[in-house]
């Protein structure tokens, strides 16, 4: 072994110690997965070299045949994995193998569920796959040299996974990384060619570069051992370039796990080759569960970009809109130049064409999933529904298509579950109904029991119940679906159109005219607290409600703006009362203006509470209510 210099012992980051403790105590229920993780890392290292060598061909150092080699020594009880990829400098080794960046173990620990089988597979997702080596090894050594550095700048990293590691500078003639696993007692099964071959075929057959194992060969008696020969044990061809008919479902699933660092199979995938004016291949996946950073819009996202099968970029976000940031996959173009950058991607008209086609392909895939696998789609919506609701605002061209994929709770749907599609809503709409009615609010219980729904219950009209924080913002961009306009049942002057008979309309006009005096009295009593007072057509059981002006912000939007520190425009609610309610009858007959004012304010505050709003002056409400209770008890 080369002479070691600049040797130092360093401590692991605290989070790494926690992770190693889990590894050493067999977090993995399926130990063989360590090889998948290490091969995946080696594949990434080779991809990075390919990309950097586009502008610096000297990095290849005359060795342009890129590959991964896996070998073993039964007597020494070791497994060695070697790649001739980008390699690491001393600083890289200390950074990447001593700490966990970005997602880190804090997120990893937070996501542990206590189910050993599920927890074991979180490793790759959190970018800490290297540490899986300690599942089967009690000592791990890494020899690496970054491409472009001198042979004297090789680095040797070693650890027994007990809280510290050693780093030393060594001579390393070839670029890349070699990892030597010293197997634990009882893990000898992995120092076996047949076992390693099967693991590679099972998990890494899709890797698009050769993975080699030593050929099994024995020397004839009395002869020297033959020179070591190697054989490729995986297909070593880019999976997305193969015809769909030749790719098995299991291969698609394993490839997804490799690129997404996920342990679950995807819900769906779409593999296509486009020829003609534009030429590119795409393989797109819908995950079964949400990543931990789904709601961090600035988090890394996008497809893996290849140009003529050469890896170029890991997270090319220009090919799909932001609301589809959960989609994983690969796009391989023949029409882009190999020196493409993120800045160039943003300005290239070819990208716009590809983005439009890929977006449509994803939406078609989701439509198919919703139609053919409704239970699967339910799970998809639970995980990604709120992100999909960003779509109508971001993607005007596909607004109708996205709207068809949305799911809502409703007065006729399952208890609180967002399962009703707009198509289902319209299919069971009342005869003559030309509107889609909805109500937004903070909680399902609040909107389900809202007084605004009373007339709809009476007439058997279904109303969509929207309780996600994003819903009011969504509806400001979603004006209609299938030529039917959306109506917020808490906004403006409710008009049920053909759903009200001529007799009902005439009666409502007569009642409104008869109560003009009461309207004026209440308006005077409430003063600046309201923008308008009117007789309600919405109520059957409650005495009063507050409606929102046609152009005013609803409660959800006000809260979003306030939380972001933006100034919220002033607006006052509309007070509507039910002329048939006994309380309104008593109010109408009240002679004392002081008492009339107190009762009007109590009804106003109760209507605000029923709408889920907070009272501007709770003490005044309590004082008026107590005063009324004392009077009633006398």
The binding site for ATP comprises 37, 41, 83, 88, 102-104, 125-130, 177, 342
Residue with tokens 């045949």: 65
Please give the Cα distance from 140 to 131 (Å, whole number): 9
Please give the Cα distance from 269 to 263 (Å, whole number): 16
Q: Decide: helix, strand or coil at residue 405.
A: helix
Residue 97 CB partners (closer than 8 Å, separation 6+): 130, 142, 157, 159, 165
Nearest CA-CA partner of 262 in 421, 127, 74:
127
Q: Decide: helix, strand or coil at residue 599.
A: helix
How far, rounded to the nearest angstrom, does the alpha carbon of residue 264 sit from its chain's CA centroid?
A: 15
Nearest CA-CA partner of 96 in 35, 7, 177, 24:
177
> Do residues 543 and 505 lie in contact, with contact meaning Cβ atoms separated by under 8 Å?
no
- Please give the order of strands across the beta sheet that includes 137-145: 5-11, 164-170, 154-159, 137-145, 176-183, 78-83, 68-73, 211-214, 230-232
CB atoms within 10 A of CB 483: 8
Annotated binding site: 37, 41, 83, 88, 102-104, 125-130, 177, 342
> Do residues 125 and 18 lie in contact, with contact meaning Cβ atoms separated by under 8 Å?
no
> Do residues 537 and 494 lie in contact, with contact meaning Cβ atoms separated by under 8 Å?
yes
Please give the Cα distance from 143 to 171 (Å, whole number): 10
Nearest CA-CA partner of 154 in 142, 163, 162, 166:
142
Task: Tell me the two tokens of residue 238.
Answer: 């880019």
DSSP E strand boundaries for 287-347: 303-307, 310-316, 328-333
How far, rounded to the nearest angstrom, does the alpha carbon of residue 319 sit from its chain's CA centroid?
A: 17
């Amino acid at each position: 072994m080369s002479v070691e210099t600049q040797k130092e012992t360093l401590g692991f980051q605290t989070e790494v110690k926690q992770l190693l403790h889990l590894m050493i105590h067999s977090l993995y229920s399926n130990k063989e997965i360590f090889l998948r993780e290490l091969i995946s890392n080696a594949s990434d290292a080779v991809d990075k070299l390919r990309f950097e060598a586009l502008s610096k061909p000297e990095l290849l150092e005359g060795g342009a045949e890129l590959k991964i080699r896996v070998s073993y020594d039964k007597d020494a009880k070791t497994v060695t994995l070697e790649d001739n990829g980008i390699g690491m400098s001393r600083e890289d080794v200390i950074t990447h193998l001593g700490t966990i960046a970005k997602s880190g173990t804090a997120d990893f620990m937070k996501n542990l569920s206590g189910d050993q089988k599920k927890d074991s597979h979180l490793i790759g997702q959190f970018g800490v796959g290297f540490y899986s080596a300690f599942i089967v090894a009690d000592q791990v050594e890494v020899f690496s040299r970054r491409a472009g550095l001198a042979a004297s700048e090789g680095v040797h990293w070693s650890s027994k996974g007990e809280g510290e590691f050693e780093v030393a500078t060594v001579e390393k003639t070839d670029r890349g990384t070699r990892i030597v696993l010293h197997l634990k007692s009882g893990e000898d099964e992995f120092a076996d060619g047949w076992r390693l071959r099967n693991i590679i075929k099972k998990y890494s057959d899709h890797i698009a570069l050769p993975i080699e194992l030593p050929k099994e060969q024995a020397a004839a008696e009395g002869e020297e051992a033959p020179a070591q020969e190697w054989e490729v044990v995986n297909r070593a061809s880019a999976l997305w370039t193969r015809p769909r008919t030749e790719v098995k479902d299991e291969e698609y699933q394993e490839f997804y796990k490799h690129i997404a660092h996920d342990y679950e199979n995807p819900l769906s995938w779409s593999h296509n080759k486009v020829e003609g004016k534009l030429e590119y291949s795409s393989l797109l996946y819908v995950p079964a569960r949400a990543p931990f950073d789904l709601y961090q819009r600035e988090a890394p996202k996008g497809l893996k970009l290849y140009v003529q099968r050469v890896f170029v970029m890991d997270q090319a976000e220009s090919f799909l809109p932001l609301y589809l940031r959960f989609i994983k996959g690969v796009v391989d173009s023949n029409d882009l130049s190999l020196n493409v950058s993120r800045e160039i991607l943003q300005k290239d008209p070819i990208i716009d064409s590809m983005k439009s086609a890929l977006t449509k392909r994803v939406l078609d895939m989701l439509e198919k999933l919703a139609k053919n696998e409704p239970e699967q789609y339910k799970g998809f919506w639970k995980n990604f529904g709120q992100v999909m609701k960003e779509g109508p605002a971001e993607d005007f061209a596909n607004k109708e298509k996205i709207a068809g994929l949305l799911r809502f709770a409703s007065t006729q749907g399952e208890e609180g579950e967002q399962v009703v599609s707009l198509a289902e809503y319209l299919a069971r709409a009342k005869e003559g109904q030309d509107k889609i009615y909805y109500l937004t609010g903070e909680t399902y219980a609040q909107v389900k029991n809202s007084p605004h729904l009373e007339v709809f219950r009476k007439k058997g009209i279904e109303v969509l119940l929207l309780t996600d924080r994003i819903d009011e913002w969504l509806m400001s961009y979603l004006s209609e679906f299938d030529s039917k306009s959306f109506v917020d049942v808490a906004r403006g002057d409710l008009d049920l159109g053909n759903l009200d008979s001529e007799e009902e309309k005439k009666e409502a006009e007569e009642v409104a005219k008869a109560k003009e005096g009461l309207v004026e009295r209440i308006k005077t009593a409430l003063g600046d607290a309201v923008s308008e007072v009117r007789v309600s057509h919405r109520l059957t059981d409650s005495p009063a409600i507050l409606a929102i002006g046609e152009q005013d912000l609803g409660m959800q939007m006000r809260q979003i703006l306030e939380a972001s520190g933006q100034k919220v425009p002033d607006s006052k609610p509309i007070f509507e009362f039910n002329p048939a309610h006994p309380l309104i009858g008593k109010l109408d007959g009240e002679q004392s203006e002081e008492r009339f004012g107190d009762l009007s304010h109590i009804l106003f505050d109760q209507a605000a509470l029923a709408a889920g709003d907070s009272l501007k002056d709770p003490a005044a409400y309590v004082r008026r209510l107590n005063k009324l209770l004392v009077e009633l008890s006398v």
